Amino acid sequence: DEFQTYSWKKVVWICLSALNSAFQLIPDHPLITDEEYIINRAIRKPDLKVRCIKVQKIRYVWNNLEGQFQKIGSLEDWLSSAKIHVKFGSGLTTEEQEIRRLICGPNTIDVEITPIWKLLIKEVLNPFYIFQLFSVCLWFSEDYKEYAFAIIIMSIISIALTVYDLREQSVKLHHLVESHNSITVSVCEKKAGVQELESRFLVPGDLLILTGNKVQMPCDAILIDGSCVVDEGMLTGESIPVTKTPLPKMDSSVPWKTQSEADYKRHVLFCGTEVIQARGACSGTVKAVVLQTGFNTAKGDLVRSILYPKPMNFKLYRDAIMFLLCLVGTATIGMIYTLCVYVLSGEPPEEVVKKALDVITIAVPPALPAALTTGIIYAQRRLKKRGIFCISPQRINVCGQLNLVCFDKTGTLTRDGLDLWGVVPCDRSGMITSRSSILAWRNRTKALSLFSFSFQEVHNFASGKALPWGPLYAAMASCHSLILLDGTIHGDPLDLKMFEATTWEMVVSGHDFHIKGAPACAMVVKPCKPASQVPVAGIAILHQFPFSSALQRMTVIAQEMGGDWLAFMKGAPERVASFCQPETVPTSFVSELQIYTTQGFRVIGLAYKKLEMDHHTTALMR
């Protein structure tokens, strides 16, 4: 593997003739003649057999064309978005599912509970404990029983505690992943239609139908129709929901992961995450193509990192080995010297051997491994009380050498939430109407502000005055990725504070509750009764392009009730200004921005544009 670790693996043959009871499979069958896919390249004809091995829970099949083993259990990386939509957009046939199910294996993440006897043998065969056994036997032969018994008791306690902790972690990991294998999903087959089946029967290429809310993903899947709001806290630790958009169908042969400048993960629903909300587009259903199954998924890769941690070559370990080698060298010199002295003194041979071996046990303390293990176990229990789960206890010693810890964001160290300070609206009475705006925010440890680019007087929300209606007001109400779940608004704290400042409310236009002027199933924001009078009844959010850290921006397509179509952009001020017409960006933009950023404000830019729409919003590209 990549760590230059070699291992022997048994090659297993998979016979496709086992499928003859379900349907007649012959070497010239159309399903296996297309050698564009790895699965078909792995089938040896005419006997219809597949050669495979399993390495660290991942299955590999022999590619007969390229003459090498290749990983199976996921869609090919070279597939374009058009190919995915055409090939898998209507689902697989029953025959295709059976072939893929047999070759790729079940969609399960199985973690066996390691038997106690295996843990015990592995621990006892540690070189340190073997050396302790040698030392104890030597001491008993010299009638040095007290210290020998003490070492035996210490070693037994150390081994027992280590085996107990490893067993407990194995049981916890087993219970953590076993729920993944017993989820019922809806799958659309090409001829049979939508059917319910257990998630362990899923194969790459299956078409999932996502219905309802609070759905656990049993696999990695590419969203091809509709949109989803997903809680990815299990993978990223972030508590803020993420909006997933469908993979656009582009007439290009470029691989789907590299076809757009945005992060391809925006189209992927990862295994182990929870779909909080699924909203269909025109068809009314949310569809996703299974990308990866089993241990190939994001959750499976996380579990594999626990089961097979990467070998780390720390300087601490290297120094420890050098220290032990020095002890062994010292013991060897001492043993040679002892042999010479006792032989020249005429001592009996058995006494000479005992005294020489004694030098080794003195130079290399037999109690050293037991003492180190006891210290690590004690440290691990202290971490456990703090809610810290350690997957590799031996690395606790390395953590003791750390002098500096760096965090990737201020939210890790500071309090949650933001405070809205104010807004600097655009000046419409100037020489040229500005098309750009800025939002500036700050954490509670300092402050928060919100402003836009034409540098009028600062509008402070603490004053209680209502913000005058304008493009900035409309952008604050609609340019966000908030969702409405069970009557409560959820989303990024920045978006939430910005929307709350408008005193508007959020509703969903549906079949049973349709708002005049808004498309069905569109998110609609409208003024509350106590809100100040505005010239529009509300704004329908038709399409979202979620925030991307790589692009440093997000965009929404919105429509005023019975009025104009608008595009609103929000993101890093410099990035937003680069999309604006140069004459609409104030000349003092850089200096004004620096005033707020140097004070610690979090600054967000806004921009808008009127659209002339002649096609559906879902066809728009970023």
* DSSP-assigned beta bridge partners for residue 504: 527
Closest CA to 616 of 541, 530, 543, 529: 543
For residue 597, count other CB atoms closer than 10 A to its CB: 14
Whole-angstrom CA distances from 257 to 37, 262, 266, 423 are: 18, 9, 10, 39
- Environment class of 416 (CB within 10 Å of its CB; exposed 0-12, middle 13-18, buried 19+): exposed
Q: Choose the catalytic residue: 1, 408, 486, 614.
A: 408
For residue 202, count other CB atoms closer than 10 A to its CB: 26
Q: Identify the residue whose tokens are 């059976």.
A: 98
Judge contact between 295 and 180, C-beta under 8 A.
Answer: no
Q: Give alpha helix (H) positions in 450-492.
A: 471-478
Q: Which token pair is 21? A: 């009871």
Concatenate the DSSP letters of all residues of 50-102 into one string.
EEEEEETTEEEEEETTTTEEEE-SB--TT-BHHHHHHHHTT---HHHHHHHHH
Judge contact between 162 and 123, C-beta under 8 A.
Answer: yes
Give the type of residue at 83. Answer: K
Q: How many residues does the chain have?
A: 622
Judge contact between 446 and 421, C-beta under 8 A.
Answer: no
Is there a catalytic annotation at residue 408? yes
- Active site residues per annotation: 408
